[in-house]
Structure 1
Amino acid sequence: MSTTCQGWNFTSNQDSDEDGRIILIWKDTVDVTIKLLTRQSITCEVKLPYGDQFYYTAIYASNLTEERSNLWVKLLDAFQYLKLDMYPWLVGGDLNQIVHPIEHSDPNFVSNFPQSSAAFLPPLISDHFPCMLNQAVPLPTVGTRPFKFFNYLTKHLSFLQVVFDAWAQLELRRFTLSNLCWKQKLIRGALKQLNRDNFSQNQVRVSEAYHQLQVI
């Protein structure tokens, strides 16, 4: 940690599990207080620099059904002991299962942090998808326009190469819907740039071409 994450703080659940399967790492800009440690979870209180706070439970559930049943008991105990119905509570990690689809999310967190967004990144060397939580995503404004694909772009000589380069930018060992989404975002940005470089400010381009003809 002193070389890889110099200046950061960390803790693990090694006292509860000899493998220490969960590691939490954070900067000094936030104040983290560990509340509960179990073999499959770490629950902590997170205080942000601007005063807001929430509770976070990191999960690495067992592959065994019997042990996972104990995880649900511990989560219920944490909910009651810490009175988490009164605070925003974020649960993340490898759960391996949920009981009901409604457990995907709950309004007691979104109502306190309306600008939060979770993005699942490519798995790279792991079989798990990293999740990046951003709590300062600008809310959409009135008039926000979706991406439009213009058919005339296909007539440009560089079109196929631009698409190929954007598609190949993200190298993946296996393909998932999340990976497809990331590749599409890369292609969208490349096509926007192709359109700006070659088809924007047409009036100026025509005027410049006309002026050159007059000079000749």
Structure 2
Amino acid sequence: MLDTFFWNVRGINDISKHRPLSSWINKRRICFGALLETHVSEGNSIAILSVLGPGWKLISNYQFSDLGKVWFVYKDPVKVQFLFADSQSITVKILPPESLPFNFTAVYASNVLDERKQLWISLKDTAISFDLSSHPWMICGDFNEILDPRESSNPSIVSSTRAMREFGSCLSDIGVFDLASQGPKFTWSNHRPSDPIGKKIDRCLVNDLWQFSYPKGFCSFEPPEFSDHTPCHIRLSSSKPEFGSRSFMFHSFLTKLPSFVSTIKECWLQSGAPAENLTYLCFKLKQLKSPIKSLCKENFSQIERRVQEAKSTLDSHQLQALNLPSQDNIELEKQSRETWLFLCLAKEMFFRQRSRIKWLEAGDLNTRFFHRITLVRNALNGVTYLLRGDGSRSQSLKEVHQIAAAHFAGILCILRGAHCLFLPEVLSRIVSTHQWSYFRVF
């Protein structure tokens, strides 16, 4: 899978920037992306482009800007179709090999408020002209504006301004949102020792169709090296971590099985004597994972296929009961209907638990929009970084795993032994009161 990027390099005529820029791009095996605020004249653009290496091609907006504010660069095997350009943006269609095509807009917003407003209008017009809201769309770059006061370290910014609201309104109108990311809190710094200020003005935005096409995509903002802006490395997919074990998820529809309570109770009793301390309680809870997984696999694996098969069986039995009414056929139809309704309920509960969308309680028909939102929420709810003890952010998924494990080990492993004399009595009272039907495993 190919990766992309964008970076406000604040000028690349300086020869000292050439090798670090080329090294950064080639090390990540990037085949297309955007360079912003290059400060390179059109006559010198080919010479500077060659710094990246052989085979690179350029789409720029020199017809609107003498110093090439926006460069879109790409090389084989990526194919690109030019769509639109103005003084603050370039929009192209990306045709990656063996992947779904999508639209890509590189943005370098003006420092002047009135000119930025023209960019917001241009983005809306571009979305309408090329029907981008109906296709996967990514917008990346330096927007020179924040969405929330918390995206600036300036203590004087305590409330939303009109410019922030206009920016937010534009993003809402075209239906884009921040792609899941990791890295520093702010993406730009003024580097003033006497009055240091950081802001999040560089963003990677996508719409729901892009997230649907690349559900595992995410981006990382990395150290700025020679620039005052952080480069953004965008991965169209991510591999599974090579550490830890697969997370355990308790599906709430399992409680609807008639055999659930008896299975859990039997396993709990077989796991040993009553839990007298927290350590042994955790041990007994872990013993429940295997029977719960077995119940789920035996009764609800490939739940959507099971629902379709149950519906086909019901249709067959209903026609049979109509063609040849008899006590056996009617009873068979009744049983098929109950099985189908039970599996439909389990399917609804499955998506309700996964999506965590509150309005599902009011009724949802598993529409196309519903499944897109599920993918988007799953991507946004992923933990991409955690804070270290010194307040800095973790840089990898493996470090996220280590920080989380160390945190809970510090909570659960400090005290050992029976530190609650009444724990067996309390647990026994809880179990007898709820009769196991409401027992939840995490």
TM-score past 0.5 threshold: yes
8 Å CA contact 1:41–1:59 kept in 2: the answer is yes
1:86 aligned residue = 134
AA aligned opposite 1:92: C
AA aligned opposite 2:60: S
- Structure number with bigger Rg: 2
Q: 1:114 aligns with which of 191, 215, 239?
A: 215
TM-score (norm 1): 0.64
Map of 1:57-96 to 2, 5 A cutoff?
A: 57-96=105-144
**Closer, same or farther: CA 68–2 of 1 in aligned 2, 3 Å:** same
Following superposition, the deviation at residue 185 of structure 1 comes to: 4.8
Map of 1:1-216 to 2, 5 A cutoff?
A: 1-97=49-145, 98=147, 99-100=167-168, 103-105=176-178, 106-139=207-240, 143-144=245-246, 180-181=392-393, 185=396, 188=399
**Closer, same or farther: CA 87–22 of 1 in aligned 2, 3 Å:** same
User: What's the Cα RMSD here?
Assistant: 3.0
Work out the CA distance in 2 between the residues paired with 1:51 and 1:35: 20
**Closer, same or farther: CA 139–87 of 1 in aligned 2, 3 Å:** farther
**Closer, same or farther: CA 144–82 of 1 in aligned 2, 3 Å:** same
Any stretches of 5+ residues in structure 1 without a counterpart?
146-176, 192-216
8 Å CA contact 2:241–2:397 kept in 1: the answer is no
AA aligned opposite 1:111: F
Greater RCO, 1 or 2 (C-alpha within 8 Å, sep 6+):
2
Any stretches of 5+ residues in structure 2 without a counterpart?
1-48, 148-166, 179-206, 248-386, 403-442
Following superposition, the deviation at residue 133 of structure 1 comes to: 0.7
Write the deviation string for residues 12-61 of structure 1: whole angstroms up to 9, x where unpaired.
11111112111111111111111101000000000110141000000000
8 Å CA contact 1:10–1:25 kept in 2: the answer is yes
8 Å CA contact 1:17–1:39 kept in 2: the answer is yes
Write the deviation string for residues 183-204 of structure 1: whole angstroms up to 9, x where unpaired.
x659959x9xxxxxxxxxxxxx
8 Å CA contact 1:57–1:92 kept in 2: the answer is yes
| Identity percentage of aligned residues | 30
AA aligned opposite 2:216: Q
Following superposition, the deviation at residue 74 of structure 1 comes to: 0.6
> Number of residues paired by the alignment?
158
Work out the CA distance in 2 between the residues paired with 1:46 and 1:139: 26
